[in-house]
Amino acid sequence: MPYFDAASAAPLHPVAREALLASLDEGWADPARLYREGRRGRLLLDAAREAAAEAVGCRPDELVFTPSGTQAVHSGVFGALAGRRRVGRRLLYSAVEHSAVLHAAEVHTAAGGTCTELSVDRTGRVAAQDVAGALTEDTALVALQSANHEVGTEQPVDEVAALCQEAGVPLLVDAAQSLTWGRVPGAWSLLTASAHKWGGPPGVGLLVVRKGTRFAPQGPVDERESGRSAGFENIPAIVAAAASLRALRADAGTDAEAARLRQLVDRIRVRVPELVPEVEVVGDPVHRLPHLVTFSCLYVDGETLLHELDRAGFSVSSGSSCTSSTLTPSHVLRAMGVLSEGNVRVSLPYGTAEADVERFLEVLPGVVRSVRERLGVPAAPERPAEAAAAPKGPAAPHGPAAPEGPVVPEGPEPEGLVVDALGRRCPIPVIELAKVIGEVPVGGTVTVLSDDEAARQDIPAWCAMRDQEYVGERAAERGAAYVVRRRV
């Protein structure tokens, strides 16, 4: 069964497996003890630290191991903020950061700090000039991922690092998704990563704090890991994590494998819109990870789509609100202002067979078609040739990319059709809109009543894909009223 979710967790690297099994017999003792077994554990831990530091591109004494990548992010953010509290308490981060950063920002705000969220364009990329414009005297820390975990877009870390260095502000880079493929460039100050993303065992994170960076560990501190990560080190897992990362760096075929996977992903990016009607491929087509592609299918229940692909033998993931327990769209897709319904993320692990990708492309159209048929989706109307050739969706400027949309002034209910989709979840509100849009004359409006948070994102995205005009939203007795004007 093809596993296409390496962005969540990569399969255990063979070198990691061998190192883990070997170190279980040698690395079980307390490395802080002076007797023979403890010294052996200390040697293994020190060797793992040196190997990991060489792979990251830092000094061994700048790197500590943590129980997870999430804890590495939290420790890095709060330690850096505390170290610069005399300068200010302002945290700057992008709207598409991992939830670990967003949760840390919430805690920081609750404690009296301030946060500024940087918007992204429609590809999910931050503009370096926006970071430069947001740097103020009271900025204590900038947090920026090297590449996005949902859509694969790479950020201009090198350029942002130079701006931060010039301003004297530390930059924390979440390198969880990119470290598999190489070192993070630039003069960053802090870096975090997670071993299960590159084929190491779960439960091992990295936190790097470069010399000269003000840092004050928060919470109870003990003598382990320079006081930056409390608790007994899991030496076998750490050894396996470092061994697999070193193996990736030492393997001359890593770059070739990255190039091969990029070609397979390029094939998916091109073929999916050709094979499946009403699909939006999201993320930067150039500045992206080599192994990851994300697309969204109109009129599709994301949870059903993933279940059907699983039944067909493919393990993929999604940022669709239909697949989350909160029924809210992915904050990444929302920040980009792109379609969230029917969202599929394909992230290929090392060694993915070309034949598996071809079979995925064969299976996908039938799966999407069957899901749409069950939902009663109307046939897509023909569009004018010039509209069909136009790019799907506006090239959003930098600024809030999420489709907050214009607000329709309060007043009499708009003329035209009203669709009551209250109490119905994605993608039903959009499907009902598609069914009736042809019943109003060009210039007429359809108002969709919905209490599903995803409608705020997906109705404007539908308008961009179907060349209709999104007028805006207005408050309703329940939920909101979304107004669409027919253009074609």
Total number of residues shown for the chain: 488
What are the tokens at 187?
Answer: 């003069």
Q: How many Å apart are CA 31 and CA 23, to the nearest integer?
A: 13
Going by their DSSP bridges, the two strands 114-118 and 90-94 should be labelled as parallel
- Specify the DSSP element, H or E, that contains 445: strand 445-450
What are the tokens at 290?
Answer: 């080599």
Q: How many Å apart are CA 145 and CA 101, to the nearest integer?
A: 10
Angle at the Cα of 298 (from 420 to 294), degrees rounded to 5? 135
Cα torsion angle, 215, 216, 220, 221, sign: positive
Q: CB-hemisphere CA count at 13 Å for 354? A: 7
How crowded is residue 390: how many other Cβ atoms within 10 Å of its Cβ? 11
Placement of tokens 């990991």 in the chain = 52
Cα torsion angle, 67, 68, 70, 73, sign: positive
Do the Cβ atoms of 101 and 132 come closer than 8 Å? no
Helix axes 354-374, 302-311, angle to 10 degrees: 130
Which of 272, 276, 433, 282 lies closest to 370, judged by CA?
276
Active-site residue identified among 164, 297, 322, 463: 322
Q: Is 322 among the catalytic positions?
A: yes
**What φ, ψ does residue 329 adopt, rounded to 5°?**
-65, 155
Contacts of 432 (CB under 8 A, 6+ apart): 419, 421, 424, 448
How crowded is residue 197: how many other Cβ atoms within 10 Å of its Cβ? 23
Q: How many Å apart are CA 178 and CA 183, to the nearest integer?
A: 8
63: which DSSP letter?
Answer: E
**Taking the C-alpha atoms of 447, 452, 453 and 455 in order, what is their torsion angle to the nearest 10 degrees?**
-40
- Specify the DSSP element, H or E, that contains 113: none
Placement of tokens 């004018």 in the chain = 384
Tell me how far CA of residue 212 lies from CA of 83, 101, 108, 171, 300, in angstroms. 11, 23, 23, 13, 51
Contacts of 353 (CB under 8 A, 6+ apart): 2
Do the Cβ atoms of 429 and 453 come closer than 8 Å? no
Residues classed as catalytic: 322
